[in-house]
Amino acid sequence: MTAIEELLHRNAHRQEKGPGELSHQPTLRVAVLTCMDARLDLGALFGLRPGEAHVLRNAGGTLTDDMIRSLAISQRRLGTREILLVHHTGCGMTTFTDEDFAFDLHADTGLRPPWKARTFRDEREDVRRCMDRLRRSAFVRTDRGMRGFVVDVRSGDLHEVL
């Protein structure tokens, strides 16, 4: 059975029903930008339930143009007010460089990507960089509240980045 087939099987045999009809506007009025890392369970970390927050995920939880696009829509059309930025320890994005990844893609495909992977060496420093970029964005409002953290993937402890 493939992974997709396994997930479809789990859906067909789930015991718990969906949350019912929820508004597309998150009740906590918060957007969470975090990494796609499978070890991050935001329900366990924050007690998040369906309908409470917009959760935006990408490799590294880094602030790309698409994340700015999603945050602008989340705020300006769907009512979120605050932004929670969460990176984590042991991120895979610290294990290679943008240049190495572009070289590998070029070697495999003959093409260089038109985008950067946005790797980083230090999770805390990247949280600072992302928060600074958010503050400078004309499209995203940070005056209503924005905080950044690094979560320890082993303990679940949050460490605020100031």
How many structural domains compose the chain? 1
Classify residue 2: in a domain, yes or no: no
Query: Is the CA virtual torsion 133, 129, 89, 162 positive or negative?
Result: negative
Classify residue 93: in a domain, yes or no: yes
Dihedral Cα 97, 89, 74, 58, nearest 10 deg: 40
Classify residue 15: in a domain, yes or no: no
Classify residue 8: in a domain, yes or no: no
Q: Are 127 and 149 in contact (CB under 8 A)?
A: yes
Does pTM top 0.75 for this prediction? yes
> Which is it for strands 53-58 and 30-35: parallel, antiparallel or unpaired?
parallel
- Domain range enclosing 62: 23-161
Q: Are 118 and 60 in contact (CB under 8 A)?
A: yes
Classify residue 107: in a domain, yes or no: yes
CATH number at residue 43: 3.40.1050.10
Classify residue 85: in a domain, yes or no: yes
Classify residue 18: in a domain, yes or no: no
How do the pLDDT tens digits run along the chain, 162 residues long? Answer: 898 899 888 888 887 777 778 888 999 999 999 999 999 999 999 999 999 999 999 999 999 999 999 999 999 999 999 999 999 999 999 999 999 999 999 999 999 999 999 999 999 999 999 999 999 999 999 998 999 999 999 999 999 999
Classify residue 12: in a domain, yes or no: no
